[in-house]
Structure 1
Amino acid sequence: MSYLEDPGPGRGSLPPRAAFTSDAPSLSLNGTWRFRLSPSLAAAPSGIEAEGFDDSAWDELPVPSLWQLHGHGRPAYTNVPYPFPVDPPHVPSDNPTGDHRLRFDLPAGWPAGSAVLRFDGIDSCGRIWLNGTELGVTQGSRLPSEFEVGPLLRPAGNVLVVRVHQWSAGSYLEDQDMWWASGIFRAVTLLARPDGGIGDYWIRADYDHTTGLGTVRVETRPDVVLDIPELGVTAHPAGEALELPVEPWSAETPRLYEGTLSTAAERVPVRIGFRTVTIEDGQLKVNGRPLMLRGVNRHEHDPRTGRVVSPETALADVLLVKRHNVNAVRTSHYPPDPAFLELCDTYGLWVIDECDLETHGFEPLGWAGNPSDELIWAEAYLDRMRRTVERDKNRPSVILWSLGNESHTGENLARMAEWVRHRDPTRPIHYEGDHDCAYVDVHSRMYATHEEVERIGRKDDDNARRRELPFLQCEYGHAMGNGPGGLLEYRELFERYPNCQGGFVWEWIDHGLAADGHFAYGGDFGEPIHDGNFVIDGLVFPDRTPSPGLAEFAKVIEPVRIEADASGIRVSNHYDFVDTGHLTFTWVLEDEGIAVAEGVLEVPPVLSGQSTVVSRPSLPATSGESWLTVSAALTSSTAWAPAGHVVGWGQLAVSEAPVAAPLPPRGPVFRTGGRLVLGAGEFDPATGTLSALGGHVVTGPRLDVWRATTDNDRGTFAGRPDADQWREAGLHRMQHRVIAVDADGEELVVRTRVAPPAQPFGLFADYTWTAFDDRLRLRVEVTPDGEFPGTLPRLGLAMAIPGAWGSAEWFGGGPGEAYPDSRQAARIGRFSSSVEGLQTPYVFPQENGNRTAVRWAALTAPDGAGLRIDGDPVFDFTARRWTAAALEEARHTDDLVPGELVHLTLDVAQHGLGTASCGPGVLPRYRLVPQKTEFTLWFRPVPGR
């Protein structure tokens, strides 16, 4: 059998071991290699392993890299389907093959003897030669492979050759909802291995929370000694257990002790975190305390280099998640670069370390032939698990091992679990696909509805094994496009039921690839089979700009909650371990969004899981609607954020808006020059539509119910998509019929019916305009006519104003966008932005930018002229330089071309977001059902300077 179609784990490599550095010489072989891509193995050149092979005409390629992102072929994206025929273990003959060659010299003084050549990642299969001798074949793309090369090395002129194939039998185990791309994408390193050196080690560092004692014992060769200077440990025999008082490691207090393991031949720096993971009383605990996992799933991705992620980018991820209150990462769906886990140790994150395994493409086939239950794949499964555990066993941040993802179930997975349980009984086992929980230690689900989570929390389950286990949502809150909605309700369930211990939002980053003017997704590279923009489902955009979804998640999971209480201000500590002594609480009083007083709020340290109530500060009188905002911020800088970084905040209403002054007399409606004039407004006498305000041409406002659909509106996970129902109902092409325009006296009353073509239902919309000096009051009455088949996207008005009015200021919810089921991050204040700045540049354009609970908003030109709109009491608004129809038609951000007008929507209600792109739809309380509605807005021209 060809090595390409061998279902085994590869050949020739050394037994797996921990990832670590030492004082032994090492040589990075990263850099510029010679490269040639062939369409198949048959078309690839022969004899490339020969030292004298002439590669001078070949291209150059950086290593690490994925060759498709350097102009050699094209990447392809699928979520579930394999992009090749499902005929395991066979792969197509048309199998892109990339040959890599490197000539290198050893540094002066390189020692004779053993040396190891380490590849941290080759996708999907590599055949390797050094100086003409074959070393072996790798499989398991995101796992290390090491080869003994000492006898083959020479001081100069070494020739390393790696033939990499895009497809191999291992590709059937690597269907992980990401770009298919190939190459040597992680580091290549030559490691000298001194005689008497430390080949491997395992630091067992436990913590007894009842005594405060840590126990450390190192499994390694017998002559190794351990030094931990800070603990006074010197030359301790590594194999002997040592018990001593220590500070424990946790994600909140990532205490690491620097030390060394050494023999006469080699010194290895180590960083020891003492912690103990248990499952007790149906809960996942660390150091005796139950955890609440506020996590994200993280694929490795860079918009320019794909799965080649630099140390700087990995650090940026860790800092960004920490600054947004995230405390856990699931390494979906493979072990990350080992440097990332070192960062998790350093900065403090709980980690579910996932094996490099997914066979999702067998699901559409009824799981027929799935490798998880086929004996010929057993060794490959075990090999991948061994390499995961052995590589990462010394990481205190890793608290669960995951067998993989979406590979159904079968004996091979059970064997993996059995091996892990024997090898490392100190960490529980996770795997969502074991729905009966026969061989795992935690009950895991993905995209469980709120109702299902509640049933699990109540232990309403006929499976006794599941009832006794802690429950995690390994994936939920699908962050695709505008959303996710419903995160608050998930948090409330996690906090209500002790066995429900949080979960991991899918996912951290949009996997867009940098293209000319936009980010590309599935189908943009001509793939015949692809899953479109389903790869764009992150809390941060491809360039790692936080999305509104991340701001919402950070607010929902904030570790300190500040709320109004009948006795003052309640401060609740939702950290798992630490008290609030490291935080400073400050307050600011704002009068209609303008700060008028501020100070420090004295809050005694609140223990984990506890709350306290403190008195409100003494506040000055205010003349308008005023709010007290209390923030909890870091008192001192940490490794991950500066002093003053806010980890939680709350708002308390102080005073309502003053009672409005009596209205002046109403102005009359009169006709002049074929127009209707009412106060500052001019109206079309035939339609009753406002056509000018304060001498400036405007269009509308008219009743409007359509919004550019979101990924969640179009999602099929929860059943029939809302967007399909809306389009079938014709809500995107509503037509207006004027029934009457009554322009007598002091009111302009316009009666209309707004309805879709070919349908018997619609909405009666009555507009009543009244003038008071320079202000126009519009009262809108909406009455459903006939039986609507479902929900509305939104309900409000649409109008267009001059394009020069491109600056927005408002008093209400902000600073970012908000929707009914995703509005926790919006605070009441006064904000300003350009119209351009109001847009959220979702990679796949869609409804965005809604500002909620707005008391008033002004759109103005540089000279100050413009329009002010007041709510009675509040409204939502968006402002864009394109229509909703143009937004609906766009497929990339650069499809949106600014027009000459600013298009406003002024809404009384929006349909929620939900997560139906992959998860539950909009919860009933957030569904916009047609019903009789009245709302009032005030319009006033703003004079220029």
Structure 2
Amino acid sequence: MKEGDNVMNGQEYKDFNVLGMNRLKESFFIEEDQIKLASGRPAIQSLSGKWQFFYSQYPETGHDTFYQVDYDTSAWDEMQVPAHWQLNGYGEPHYTNVAYPFAVRPPIIPSENPTGLYKRTFNYDSVTDEIVHLRFEGVDSAFYFWVNGQFVGYGTGSRTASSFDVTNVIQSGANQIAVKVHQFNAQTYLEDQDMWWLSGIFRDVKLVRRPQHHLEDLFVQATLDSDYKEGMLRIESAFNSDQVSLDYTLYNNQQEVVYTRTDVTDCSVVAQIENIAPWTAEMPNLYTLVVQVKDHNRELLETVTQRVGFRTVEIREGLLLINGQRVLFKGVNRHEHDWERGRINSLQTMKDDLILMKRHNINAVRTAHYPSDPRFYALCDELGLYVIDEADIETHGMQHTLGWNKLTNDPAWEAAYVERAKRMVERDKNHPSIIMWSLGNESGYGVNHEAMAHWIRQRDPSRLLHNESESFGLLQETEYEPVKLNDTSDVYSSMYTSHASLEKLGKQSDLAQPHLLCEFVHAMGNGPGGLKEYMDLFYRYPRLQGGFVWEWIDHGLRQETANGEEYIAFGGDFSHEQHDGNFVCDGLLFADRQPSPALSEFKAAAQPLKVTRNPNGRFLLENRYDFSDLAHLAADYTITYQGELLQSGLIDLPHIEPGEIRELSLSIDEEELPEDSFLTIQFKLKEAVEWAERGHEVAFCQFRVGQKSQPHPQSALTVNRQKNEALLVQQTMGQLRVTGEDFDILFNTHTGWLDSLSYRGEEVIAQGPRFNVWRAMTDNDQLPLMKGSGRIGDYWQEKQVHLMEGTLLNVDYQQTDEGVMIEAKHMQAPPGQSWGLDLTTRYTIDANGRIGIDIVGEPFGQNGSESLPKLGMQLYLPDQYETVTWDGLGPAENYPDSQLAARHGRFTRTIDELWTPYAHPQENGNHMGVSQVMLTNQSGISLKIVGKELNFSAHYYTTRMIDHALHPYELVKQSQIELNIDYQQYGLGTNSCGPATQEQYKLKVEPFHYTFTLMMTEEGD
């Protein structure tokens, strides 16, 4: 059925060949601020707001004639537009990653197909010589609509706009619009994107007024000449009448006219503009094209404005170049999501997101996996982000059912595929931020991709094409050594490629297409790990031009328990048995848009500056910008030791072109600095920009400096022979008691561990320290609702690491001049297994109550686990020791393969503040490189732990509680604090959907030795 057919039978939604009815031809998109009518009337009128609404589980709603003007809807509910009905009490949200939510037999869809009926009245002041279009900017998934009882049109394709001519059915005064929306239609098979299944009118509905003779389409192509110095401007226009002419005026950002042409009747105009300021993500220079549409008497009819950015995107010598320069994409994948409104983002939310990206050194966005709200692209133009605009196509559910290529290689579906490409390109074609068109996501490969690519290249040769689905086949069949170039993509593209495979690709410098990671470092839960090594590869091999983190934001939904406690819901939290759990929570932002630790880690990895130190001690600065020198930055430095500022000053930055390395004018006298001092260099904005304030930190680096030896706190176990001789040691059945002037220590001779420490009559340690190798599983260790999928957590549990327990082999003590010495030997092993660790733990207790702990471990046995989640000691304190101060890496959590954002310093936080609020509770809050950590109560009494390169974490919940909870509300705050003093942790990796932890970050089962000291201090000590 063609678009122009007007015969409607109500069954079109079951036919994948019916793409729409009476829909206007695709054309450029006009926002309110882009069009002005000569009459002075507003060109655009919003119909968003409250509509009457009726919900049915089936298409047969019982209201067959609801569209009639006099139909009684007084008993209907109200629904806000835009909105998803599942988030407003009608049906339930349903999350799947891959699988369709119905049986797979295209084009058949479920007979139980939730349907919403919408109706509202609006006023319209009619004038002569005016054409009126009604524009639906996003409806999920298929819809019919009527105006004043007359059928107007039908549309599919959820994530692009559908416009209809309503001039002949609209009337002056009150008008009525009725819309019928089906959750599923035959083309839902093309919309299987990893997200919630949510339905309804979810973007704005608008009336667009145009003069009878008007501009139908505008395509502005602004590129650079072969020397990248002058602008090449091509303007293509289409009119609905031969009675109009156009006047073009191009202004720069100082509102100076740089080009003008009047009385244009040609459909295509070409001009060369001198002294152009090019557009890049670093310097998003924009011009404004003003188009005046005039009638045959040269009277003004309407004025249309379009922002213009001059840039050239090309592949040359195997590299992707923008304005002749290789660029590195430090990008993110961005679903549209709001934790209360679903896929509905306000303009302010979109802007806030992009500002946050810019502040964290993100320079690119992939609109995963559909075109975004049309307002999003103008913000990218203005703020400066490269965009891969992705067609609304994904058929992932075909992979394990009928085969990847089932629909994509079926010519019968060609029109549906190509139409989605057309509607994306025509809507978004005037945005300079868009540098690539993507043919969709995870859809196999076939003739329909080829048809899409052919149409796009004919329509818009100024941009590149992206199609990971084709690259997937080329890479898999050659084990990442491709010999054939992509046909429908100008770049190779892959997802979650391991570091080793990516390096193999990087070395293939003879390939004529560069490589992008369209998805990498899956940011689910605590992670990702290994980001540094990816960035190292991007800089080492020119044809590796960056990647796009999966993804920007967790898609969790805000819900409340019966007790009113807020939590983040994910798959399985509603009534559907088929779901993919918390796999929907995998972003750099938490669902409430608070940054996760991963966002800071990405910012540090993507820093546009790198400082190194050569063997002579000089500091070298590398400019990693693609286009900018460093004139916009200021630099300063500090030198600190154990939280004390020793030196500070400013650094004169040399002029450094992109890619160059110069020496920094910074010299320090290390002989006068204590060893383990830290030099911190910060690079900040000199002036405020649109996305950040003056003084915003763009980059930082740290170096350990100093040569003057200092006594380490652990050496404070000094001998006071008389006091040590005064220690009282009492041995009773199963217990060794060591008492000093103001402390009391109980050691359990049955278990071989400390039982408690009291200070001045108050209990400080309620239990421990005891040896521990288990951590609450991260999403990268083991997905909570996908256990048994072969991740490292499954392996550990198979080896029963989580059940390891200590068997005391021997305990002995003696009292010497140094104090009381206790030695305990344990076998730490899982039940039913023949492997484990032999431990020797030595305690030295002096007269001041200081406890030196020295642990030595030796593996034994066969067929044991090759790795462990962690190695350390665990103890419990009363909950009033709630203030934590440490010298080490902070302020946010850090792990072996995720510590770029951490800096050495002295930090103070409460126990609550050490908790990272992942939607699914898991291991969190670790801090590495710790020389001392102190937990203090309100009386100023502290338990202090000192050592070298320790790890610590502290929570009000036990590891077991965290490990067994699916949501934070299941955790009940204890009256004790669990404190972990660890030797090492296993890295994080990205194995929730990507490579496992790299070899160098695995905690192997091998001999180990670590020490630390416990002591009590008071404020003023």
- TM class by smaller structure: over 0.9
Matches within 5 A, 1:387-786: 387-435=423-471, 436=474, 437-459=486-508, 467-516=511-560, 517-565=566-614, 566-617=616-667, 621-623=672-674, 625-655=676-706, 658-660=710-712, 663-665=717-719, 667=724, 670-672=728-730, 674=732, 675-677=736-738, 680=743, 681-695=745-759, 696-698=763-765, 699-714=767-782, 720-746=790-816, 747-774=821-848, 775-786=850-861
SS at match of 1:878: strand
Distance 1:289 1:777 in 2: 58
Q: Secondary structure of the equivalent of 1:930?
A: coil
The letter for the 2-side match of 1:89 is: P
Whole-angstrom distance in 2 between the partners of 1:523 and 1:767: 45
Q: Tell whether the 8 Å contact from 2:287 to 2:308 is kept in structure 1 after alignment.
A: yes
Tell me, yes or no, if structure 1 residue 249 matches structure 2 residue 241. no
Q: Does 1:316 align with 2:378?
A: no
User: Partner of 1:16 in structure 2?
Assistant: 26
CA distance in 1, matches of 2:574, 2:287: 49
Please state whether the residue corresponding to 1:383 is helix, strand or coil.
helix
Q: Deviations over 1:16-74 (max 9, x none)?
A: 11112311322100110000001101234110111111111100001011011111111
CA contact (8 A) 1:567 1:614 kept: no
- Code of the residue aligned with 2:115 in structure 1: it is T
Deviations 1:99-146 (A, max 9, x none): 00011101x465553111101100011111111121221110001100
- Give the Cα separation in 2 of the matches to 1:531 and 1:386: 32
Aligned-pair CA distance for 1:326: 0.3
SS in 2 for 1:47: coil
1:73 counterpart = 2:91 = yes
Instruction: Assess if the C-alpha contact under 8 Å between 1:563 and 1:571 holds in 2.
Output: yes
Distance 2:642 2:794 in 1: 41
**What is the distance in 1 between the residues matched to 2:345 and 2:228?**
42
- Map 1:344-383 → 2, pairs under 5 A: 344-367=380-403, 370-383=406-419
Q: Which moved more, 1:553-562 or 1:218-227?
A: 218-227
CA separation in 2, counterparts of 1:735 and 1:813?
A: 31
Report the counterpart of residue 237 of structure 2 in structure 1. 220
Deviations, residues 555-592 of structure 1 (Å, cap 9, x unaligned) = 01111122333342221111111111100011112121
Residue 243 of structure 1: how far off its partner (Å): 1.1
- Distance (Å, rounded) in 2 between the aligned partners of 1:334 and 1:520: 23
Displacement, 1:893? 1.4
Asked if structure 2 preserves the Cα contact closer than 8 Å seen for 1:590 and 1:597, the reply is yes
Amino acid at match of 1:863: S
| More displaced stretch, 235-244 vs 637-646 | 235-244
2:260 match:
234
Counterparts in 2 of 1:757 and 1:618: CA distance versus 1, 3 Å: closer
Q: Find the aligned partners of 2:610 and 2:389 in 1 and give their Cα distance.
A: 30
Structure 1 contact 255–273 (Cα < 8 Å) conserved: yes
1:64 aligned onto 2:64: no
| Kept after mapping to 2: 8 A contact 1:249/1:255 | yes
Q: Which has the higher mean CA deviation after the structures are superposed, 684-693 or 813-822? A: 684-693
SS in 1 for 2:72: coil
Deviations 1:328-358 (A, max 9, x none): 0000000000111110000000000000000
1:902 aligned onto 2:977 = yes
Q: Rate the CA distance shift 1:232–1:51 in 2: closer, same or farther, 3 A.
A: same
Structure 1 residue 195: Cα displacement: 2.1
Deviation at 1:688, TM superposition (A): 3.5
Match of 2:111 in 1: 93
Distance 2:617 2:945 in 1: 37
Which amino acid in structure 2 is aligned with residue 455 of structure 1? Answer: K
Distance 1:626 1:900 in 2: 37
SS at match of 1:759: coil
Aligned equivalents of 2:1000, 2:407: Cα separation in 1: 43
Distance in structure 2 (CA, Å) of the matches to 1:423 and 1:314? 29
Structure 1 residue 834 corresponds to structure 2 residue 910: yes
> 1:57-206, aligned counterparts within 5 Å?
57-106=75-124, 108=125, 110=127, 112-206=129-223
Q: CA deviation at 1:790?
A: 2.5
Deviation at residue 490 of structure 1 after TM alignment? 0.7
Aligned to 2:887: 811
Deviates more, 1:360-369 or 1:2-11: 360-369
User: Gaps (5+ residues) in structure 1?
Assistant: none
Which of 28, 43, 60 is 1:42 aligned to? 60
Deviates more, 1:714-723 or 1:752-761: 714-723
**Matched residue, 2:14:** 5
Offset at residue 595 of structure 1 (A) = 2.2
Structure 2 counterpart SS, 1:249: coil
Instruction: Point out the more displaced range, 568-577 or 848-857.
Output: 568-577
Give the 3-state SS of the residue equivalent to 1:387 in structure 2: helix
Change (3 A) 1:110 1:549: farther
Report the more deviating stretch, 789-798 or 364-373: 364-373
Query: Between the two proteins, what is the percent identity of the paired residues?
Result: 39
Residue 718 (structure 1) shift: 12
Cα displacement (A) at 1:703: 1.0
Aligned partners of 1:362, 1:612: CA distance in 2, in Å?
Answer: 53
The structural deviation recorded for 1:221 is 3.6
> CA contact under 8 A between 1:811 and 1:828: conserved in structure 2?
yes
Tell me the amino acid that sits aligned with residue 756 of structure 1: P
Once the 2 structures are TM-superposed, how far is the Cα of residue 241 of structure 1 from its aligned partner? 1.5
The separation in 2 between residues aligned to 1:717 and 1:567, in whole angstroms, is: 50
The DSSP-based 3-state class of the residue aligned with 2:470 is: coil
Identify the residue that residue 4 of structure 2 maps to in structure 1. none
3-state SS, counterpart of residue 399 of structure 2: helix
RMSD: 1.9
Contact residue 678 and residue 770 of structure 1 kept, 8 A: no
Deviation at 1:426, TM superposition (A): 0.9
Q: Deviations over 1:373-395 (max 9, x none)?
A: 12221111110000000001000
Amino acid across the alignment from 2:750: A
8 Å CA contact retained: 1:275, 1:396: yes
How far is 1:726 from its partner?
Answer: 1.0
1:418 counterpart SS class: helix
CA distance in 1, matches of 2:269, 2:447: 37
* Aligned residue among 773, 789, 801 for 2:865: 789
Change in 2 beyond 3 A, CA 1:375/1:221: closer
Alignment length (residue pairs) = 938
Task: Report the counterpart of residue 305 of structure 2 in structure 1.
Answer: 269
Q: 2:718, 2:764 → 1: CA distance? A: 26
Deviations 1:214-266 (A, max 9, x none): 11121004722211232432345483222122100000000001231111211
Distance 1:431 1:812 in 2: 45
Counterpart in 1 of 2:297? none
Structure 2 residue runs without a partner (length 5+): 1-8, 38-42, 240-244, 295-300, 475-485, 561-565
CA contact 1:131–1:160 (8 Å) conserved in 2 = yes
Equivalent residue letter for 1:807: T
Query: Given the superposition, is the C-alpha separation of residues 731 and 718 from structure 1 closer, same or farther in structure 2, using an over 3 Å criterion?
Result: closer
- Which one-letter code corresponds to 2:56 in the other structure? S
- The residue that corresponds to 2:298 in the other structure is none
How far apart are 1:653 and its partner, in Å?
Answer: 1.8
Moved segments of 4+, more than 6 Å: 716-719
2:291 partner letter:
L
Task: Kindly indicate whether the alpha-carbon contact (under 8 Å) linking 1:803 and 1:900 is maintained by their aligned counterparts in 2.
Answer: yes
Q: TM-score normalized by structure 1? A: 0.97
